[in-house]
């Protein structure tokens, strides 16, 4: 019988180091660098979505082929001209996971590697990149990378922040870990996506609502053009702006719907790099305006206080 791998770090590394649709030269380079580093205490992310402040080529975002969050160093594989179109295609395929986990490129150090070099030259570039990463590790001595459960991660914290790279497997677990809600995590029934928590009463969160919107699904219409459709049978069609600061909501089955003015603690559902469905905190939002039957919610905070038992 084949043994099933359950170690979270092993599963993560296997998935993230193969998270690319360009599986030839790029895969060789990023895996060579990771193996030669031989340091499992350093966090690594492949295909990291990053904000492009320079914007010289017209793109507001792009992907880093291999990124080390603790070091703010990235490996960018430079390919032959005829492969540039593939990179442009990838940039248009950013998932909700990419968008809400993007980084800003301030103080970011890029190491460029031309994968079209001959073997010996390419080996020199790879080894040089490894040396620079090792040097940066010695300079800053980052804490040991470990993969924690939500319970472990938030045990000593008093706030949740959009920068936290932590998701939750269910709505009830989200409420229990962050707000000590005491909900039944074994329940198999569908959970409401918009509600109040009794635990909020008498706290700074009194009057706030929990909101777990499903984003609209991207599909191709009969005319061959991209379009969005409701993600649920109830007709809710929600979209997140590219900067993550606005949620646009409408209901395809009820155009008379008018949202309340409650502040909303928002978690979006997405698939993580392992293919698991998770809910990720994206901020506190507030209703701002309604235009052409669309309701616009604007982010008012990147963080939220937690409630401990």
Q: Are residues 44 and 92 in the same domain?
A: yes
pLDDT for 227-261, tens place per residue?
Answer: 444 445 567 778 888 778 899 888 777 777 788 99
Q: Are residues 40 and 128 in the same domain?
A: yes
Most confident range (mean pLDDT) of 5-19, 34-48, 124-138, 265-279 is 124-138
Q: Are residues 224 and 135 in the same domain?
A: no
275 HSE (CA, 13 A, CB side) = 5
More confident residue, 270 or 118: 118
Task: Give the pLDDT confidence score for residue 112 in this predicted structure.
Answer: 92
| Tokens of residue 77, six digits | 């594989």
Residues whose CB is less than 8 angstroms from the CB of residue 255 and which lie 6 or more positions away in sequence, other chains included: 293
pLDDT above 80 for 189: no
Strand 209-211 versus strand 236-240 pairing type: unpaired
Residues whose CB is less than 8 angstroms from the CB of residue 154 and which lie 6 or more positions away in sequence, other chains included: 160, 166, 177, 178, 306
Domain limits at 65?
8-140
| Tokens of residue 193, six digits | 């996506």
Q: Are residues 185 and 288 in the same domain?
A: yes
pTM, entire model: 0.75
pLDDT for 115-134, tens place per residue?
Answer: 889 999 999 999 999 999 99
Q: Are residues 184 and 101 in the same domain?
A: no
How many distinct structural domains can be found in the chain? 2
Q: Which residue has the tokens 């993550």?
A: 244
For residue 100, tell me if it sits in a domain.
yes
Among the candidates 120, 140, 160, a domain finishes at: 140
Q: For the chain, how big is the Rg over CA atoms in Å? A: 22
For residue 201, tell me if it sits in a domain.
yes
Q: Give the DSSP H/E element, type plus range, for residue 14.
A: helix 8-16
Q: Are residues 70 and 132 in the same domain?
A: yes
For residue 54, tell me if it sits in a domain.
yes
Q: Are residues 195 and 72 in the same domain?
A: no
Query: What confidence tier does 82 reach under pLDDT thresholds 50, 70, 90?
Result: very low
Per-residue pLDDT, averaged over 203-228, amounts to: 70
For residue 84, tell me if it sits in a domain.
yes
Q: Are residues 117 and 162 in the same domain?
A: no
For residue 145, tell me if it sits in a domain.
no
Per-residue pLDDT, averaged over 163-181, amounts to: 92
For residue 2, tell me if it sits in a domain.
no
Among the candidates 140, 162, 178, a domain finishes at: 140
């Amino acid at each position: 019988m084949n043994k099933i791998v359950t170690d979270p770090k092993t599963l993560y590394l296997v998935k993230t180091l193969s998270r690319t649709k360009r599986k030839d030269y790029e895969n060789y380079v990023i895996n060579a660098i990771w193996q030669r580093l031989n340091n499992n205490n350093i966090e690594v992310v492949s295909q990291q979505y990053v904000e492009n402040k320079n914007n010289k080529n017209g793109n507001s975002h792009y992907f880093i082929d291999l990124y080390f969050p603790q070091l703010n160093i990235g490996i960018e594989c430079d390919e032959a001209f005829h492969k540039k179109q593939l990179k442009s295609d990838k940039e248009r395929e950013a998932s909700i996971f990419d968008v809400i986990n993007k980084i800003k490129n301030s103080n970011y150090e890029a190491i460029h590697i031309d994968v079209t070099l001959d073997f010996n030259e390419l080996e020199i570039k790879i080894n040089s990149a490894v040396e620079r990463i090792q040097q940066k590790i010695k300079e800053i001595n980052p804490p040991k990378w470990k993969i924690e459960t939500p319970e472990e991660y938030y045990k000593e914290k008093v706030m949740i922040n959009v920068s936290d790279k932590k998701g939750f497997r269910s709505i009830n677990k989200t409420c229990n870990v962050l707000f000590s809600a005491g909900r039944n995590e074994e329940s198999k029934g569908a959970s409401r996506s918009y509600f109040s928590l009794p635990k909020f009463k008498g706290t700074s969160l009194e009057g706030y609502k929990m909101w777990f919107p499903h984003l609209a699904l991207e599909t191709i219409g009969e005319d061959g053009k991209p379009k969005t459709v409701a993600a649920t049978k109830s007709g809710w069609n929600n979209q997140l702006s590219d900067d993550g600061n606005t949620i646009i909501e409408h209901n395809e089955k009820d155009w008379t719907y008018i949202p309340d003015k409650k502040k909303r603690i928002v978690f979006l559902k997405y698939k993580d790099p392992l293919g698991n469905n998770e809910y990720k905190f994206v901020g506190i939002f507030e209703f701002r305006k309604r235009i052409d039957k669309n309701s616009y919610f604007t982010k008012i905070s990147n963080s939220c206080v937690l409630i401990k038992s």
